[in-house]
Amino acid sequence: MRIGFSLLDLAMGGAQTFLVQLAKEMSLRGHDVSYCLHSHRIDPSHVAPSLLAELDAVAVSVSQPKKLLKNEVIQLDGYHNLRRKIPYLTHLNRCVETYHSVYSIRRSGPIYARYRVSISKAVQVALHHPSQVIYPGIVLPEMDHFALGKEFDVAILGRIHPVKGHLLFLQVCERLYQQRGQLRALMIGGHPKSGPYQENVDAQVQRLRRMGIQIHTTGDIPADEVFTWLERSRLLLVTSESEGLGRMAMEALACYVPVISNPVGGLREIVI
């Protein structure tokens, strides 16, 4: 079967990581996979080189959406607004649209693909259209053991974006340091494109470091290195204001790292 992926961006996020893993799995099963990456031409900062390399290893890149129409199935990443759907309007009966968040639902209307997938019950309820809930899995790398010694007291995982709540995470770090007298914190993930929020986060990190808090920042890392960092942490703190599912919580729990999270979105289906 020929399967095409229409992707608006390939930033290092849960939705993009899942779609790359899906393309890899389809290729392993013998399907011919191709993709069209819109942001590659519009804003290269929205493309994580490591994810792109993984995708290029299993799929053929096409330059225009119309070239995906030769495929029997077309996977839309859930962030296609009406303008982005124009090439597929007469082919929506062959399209599968996967919704990863409330934001993707708002962006993708008012015309939807025939086949709709929600990654959590929370997203399914927010969609207000029939959809199938399919929880995305995670692929653990081969590891001989999990780290016994924990280098970091608390960690956060995710791109530095207002919805992920990094400023709240840093406030918690400051309070813990005031109570304990010491703290080692880990921030996994970066920001491919800087802005006022990212600059504020960077300034707060520097301020807390001057106070004596040890904060290590990894910047953008390949998806398969996430587990190596997670297993070195005692706790993952998820301070997100909204999550379609909360892939970072699944990844932490797979490493036997406890999770404390805000009770939002799909996180309520993972963290009890």
Q: What is the mean pLDDT of residues 174-197?
A: 92
pLDDT at 144 over 60: no
pLDDT tens by residue, 18-61: 999 999 999 999 999 999 998 756 567 778 888 899 999 999 99
Q: What structural domains does the chain harbor?
A: 2-133 (3.40.50.2000), 154-269 (3.40.50.2000)
Task: Summarize pLDDT for 153-173 with one digit per residue, the tens.
Answer: 999 999 899 999 999 999 999
The model's confidence at residue 143, banded by pLDDT at 50, 70 and 90, is low
3-state secondary structure the chain: CEEEEEECCECCCHHHHHHHHHHHHHHHCCCEEEEEECHHHHCHHHECHHHHHHHHCCCEECCCHHHHHHCCEEEECCCCCHHHHHHHHHHHHHEEEEECCHHHHHHHCCCCCCEEEECCHHHHHHHCCCCEECCCCCCCCCCCCCCCCCCECEEEECCCCHHHCHHHHHHHHHHHHHHHCCCEEEEEECCCCCCHHHHHHHHHHHHHHHHCCEEEECECCCHHHHHHHHCCECCEEECCCCCCCCHHHHHHHHCCCCEEECCCHHHHHCCC
Judged against a pLDDT cut of 70, whether residue 121 lies above it is answered with: yes
pTM of the full predicted structure? Answer: 0.88
pLDDT above 70 covers a percentage of the chain that reads 95
Residue 221 has pLDDT above 70, yes or no: yes
